[in-house]
Amino acid sequence: MGSVHRAGKPVELVVFDCDGVLVDSERIAVRVQVEVGAQLGWALGAGEVVERFIGRSHAAIWAQVGERLGPVAAAEWERRFERRHRELVDAELEPVDGVVAALDALDARGLPYCVASSGSHGKMRHTLGRTGLYERFAGRIFSATEVARGKPFPDVFQHAAARTGYAPEVCAVVEDSPAGLRAARAAGMRRFGYTGGPTGDALTGGEFRDRADDTVLFADMRQLPALLDPPATG
């Protein structure tokens, strides 16, 4: 696939999404959304859940449910989802395969990284804590709850760059959802789309039609450090 760089500038900050990129929680979230939808009268397949919900803030998700089923059902959907999701996270959650090795490689290189997620700080404390990743990111965790608009708007990525002191053009965003990659593009950041999880088809298939040519898609998180390398010169 090669590396992606503008004007020869190396990547100075790696901005990770959380769910589906650091922690393998998207599989759980998709399963629970399908389950709750069936209970409350909105039959959703896994692909539709990915298209409608994954990568977006919970507020945006519950707004969609409210438009479809009404506010009472949306509140009940949220309650059931949060309870069941937490149960399964506690029982099953693991880091995304290969991400620990990727972070170790970034540490060895001295390349800084942070998190910019649609999830709340409480949710990230829980999921990153359950997988042993929280301390690696503590103090560099940014949530869409801190900004006016969630993904696919660029606000949370712009916020992360501003807070860490990096220009957008030297930031590389690692995302697994179309909404997240659109947000990164709008922020003027380089984009790396992880296709190894349940959202992979949405990135490689027809659903994600507006991917820019310089979005790098990769299926194994262990590949990421090499993809971030500056191009060889000579």
Tell me the pLDDT band of 206, cut-offs 50, 70 and 90.
low
Cis peptide before 152 (omega within 30 of 0): yes
CATH class of 13-24+95-227: alpha beta
DSSP strand pairing (216-218 vs 190-194)? parallel
Q: pTM for the whole thing?
A: 0.84
In the Cβ-directed half-sphere of 110, how many Cα atoms lie within 13 Å? 1
Residue listed under structure tokens 């990164």: 184
- pLDDT at residue 116 greater than cutoff 90: yes
Give 27's DSSP letter. Answer: H
Q: How far apart are CA 57 and CA 65, in angstroms?
A: 13
The size of the chain, in residues, is: 234
pLDDT value at residue 7:
46
Share the mean pLDDT of the chain: 89
Select the more confidently predicted residue: 107 or 57. Answer: 107
Segments making up each domain of the chain, as ranges: 13-24+95-227, 26-92
Instruction: Give the architecture-level CATH label for domain 26-92.
Output: Orthogonal Bundle (1.10)
